[in-house]
Structure 1
């Protein structure tokens, strides 16, 4: 009950606060929020130095660090060509702005970074065994199982039992005492 009373008092204080007045910072920040379309890549890469500087500023990069993705037919326009570094490969002890994703605020990320999260594929990991060796092991195991199956396919295994006894074959038992 005391928690409800304290919560009500806090709500009354917040409603009379200067933060909710029209000239306050909170209401002003609500009016100036960006939409996702503001960060959408332009369809073509920048051609002039002014477009290059504008694209670098759009992604929060220095103009000398900004490099658009090469246009190979599947490029994302003016999106920056950032190196692929998986979240798992980043420093876990750095003071990240978003530690669960291991990234900083307004940091440009790789265009397919959703696939390289800490709980997903790690592109920077060195494999202990090469891919051809993995395929050789997989095919070796599958081939050996197949050969064992084919070898034992015609060799039927069953539980050893006596032949079935039918009444027409005569009595198979007697109630007389043995001598």
Structure 2
């Protein structure tokens, strides 16, 4: 693998920068120390050279670091086809860093978990691992180069807890009671604070509806509300 100090070079010509902007390359501009040279090259060679070399502009633009570099790409780690023969299984085991006798592919009929030649690592979750181990990644309790199970993101330390012991204490009525312990208080509190009875809200003094001297609803939108007075109470004796 190339490091950041590598620069794309043409045999026999010291090169500091390589520019590739067109699909059909007819010439490549080479910035030398004191001169500028143009030399025609093969377009196929230029395209393949770009995919294998690091492109630098440090000497030209006084920038640090490459424009592109050879590193980790998802396409290099995607699962391949399902391993059928013994040689394919051995190659898949070596690819994923496993011993051939420990390699077990996913069930091909499992439409949810099937992923080509990716190995079936079982269910080893965050809670199965020793919290006092000196892990490379303490957040996920994972060492460098350790294989990632299919359900790793589901059973992280900040998500679902699964050790297999939960099934020993599981009962149907226990799960129902656990739900009712949350839902029943929520329903009672919702009724207490949302009922329309003014006496139900103990924290607020009960009050009658507000009284208006005119019927604004009858006057809406353009009429004069004073034409529709409302007699809320009177001091005249009946």
TM-score (norm 1): 0.60
Contact 2:198–2:206 under 8 Å retained in 1: no
Relative contact order, higher structure (CA 8 A, sep 6+): 1
Aligned to 1:103: 142
Q: Which has the higher helix share?
A: 1
2:128 matches 1:89: yes
Change (3 A) 1:92 1:49: same
Shift of 1:160: 7.8
Stretches of structure 1 lacking an aligned partner (at least 5 in a row): 1-18, 171-179
| Residue 66 of structure 1, aligned match among 75, 99, 103 | 103
Deviations 1:7-47 (A, max 9, x none): xxxxxxxxxxxx96549xxx8xx9653421111112x3201
Stretches of structure 2 lacking an aligned partner (at least 5 in a row): 8-53, 55-67, 208-231
Shift of 1:138: 2.5
* Structural RMSD (CA): 3.9
Deviations 1:126-154 (A, max 9, x none): 449636212244247746886996xxx8x
Deviations 1:155-175 (A, max 9, x none): 9846689xxx944266xxxxx
2:90 matches 1:37: no
Whole-angstrom distance in 1 between the partners of 2:119 and 2:164: 24
Whole-angstrom distance in 2 between the partners of 1:126 and 1:82: 19
Aligned to 1:168: 235
Aligned to 2:176: 135
TM-score (norm 2): 0.47
Q: Which has the higher strand share?
A: 2
Contact 2:105–2:118 under 8 Å retained in 1: yes
Whole-angstrom distance in 2 between the partners of 1:122 and 1:134: 16
Deviations 1:97-117 (A, max 9, x none): 222221111211211211211
Alignment size in residue pairs: 142
Change (3 A) 1:134 1:67: same
Deviates more, 1:76-85 or 1:93-102: 93-102
